[in-house]
Chain A
Amino acid sequence: MSVSTVAPVGKRPKKWLGPLLLVLRILLALVFGLPLVFMIVSSFKPDAQIFADLDSVKAFLPVGSLSLENYVGVFERVPFARFLLNSVIVSVVTVVLGLLVNSMAAFGLSRVRFRGQGIVLGIIIATLIVPFETMALPLLWWCNQLPWLDANGLSQGWLDTYQVQIVPFIANAFSIFLFYQYFDSIPRELDEAATVDGANWFQIYWKVVMPLAGPAVATVAILTFLPAWNSYLWPLMVVQSEELRPAMVGIDYFKQLNVSWGQIMAYASIITVPVLAVFISFQRAFISSIASSGVKG
Chain B
Amino acid sequence: MNIIRKVATLGVAAALLVGGTACTKGGGSGQGATKGADGTTEISLWTHNAGNKEELAAITKIVTDYNASQSKYKVKVQAFPQDSYNQSVVAAASSKKLPCILDTDGPNVPNWAWAGYLAPLEGMDETLSKFLPSVVGKYKDKAYAYGYYDVALAMFSRKSVLEASGIRVPTMDKPWTKDEFNQAMAKLKATGKYAYPADFATGSTGEWWPYAYSPMLQSAGGDLINRSDFKSAEGALNGPAAVEWATWFRGLVTNKYIATKSGADPTKDFINGKSAVLYNGSWSASQARKAFKEDLVVMPPVDLGKGPKIGGGSWQWAVSATCGAKEGAMEYMKFAAQDKYVAAVAEATATIPATDAAAAKVKGYEAGGEFDIFRQFSKKYAVVRPETPGYPFIATEFTKTAQDILNGADPKKALDQAVRNIDDNQKSNNYFQ
Contacts and interface: CB of A to CB of B under 8 A. Distances in A.
Contact of A261 (B8, B22, B53, B265): B265
Interface stretch (B82-90, B138-146, B337-345): B82-90
Given A76-B53, A163-B23, A237-B87, A96 B94 contact: no
Given A163-B18, A217-B1, A256 B92 contact: no
A257 B283 contact: yes
Nearest to B3: A285
Contacts of B3: 214, 217-218, 221, 282, 285
Interface stretch (A21-29, A108-116, A122-130, A140-148): A140-148
A88 B91 CA distance: 24
A201 B293 CA distance: 80
A152 B20 CA distance: 11
A283 B94 CA distance: 42
A258 B283 CA distance: 8
Interface in A71-87: 76-78
A40 interface: no
Interface string A45-57: 0011001100000
Interface in B80-139: 80-84, 87-88, 91-92, 94-97
Contact of B10 (A92, A150, A162): A92
Interface stretch (A58-66, A192-200, A246-254): A246-254
Contact of B272 (A51, A148, A161, A253): A51
A97 B7 CA distance: 10
B7 A144 contact: no
Contact of A96 (B8, B21, B27, B53): B8
B82 A255 contact: yes
Q: How large is the interface on B (under 10, 10 to 19, 20 to 34, 35 or more residues)?
A: 35 or more
Nearest to A161: B23
Nearest to A257: B283
A89 B19 CA distance: 11
B287 to A, nearest CB: 7
B18 to A, nearest CB: 5
B11 A252 contact: no
B174 interface: no
A240 B97 contact: yes
Nearest to B27: A155
Given A256-B52, A256-B82, 5 more contacts: A89-B17, A93-B14, A96-B12, A159-B92, A236-B91
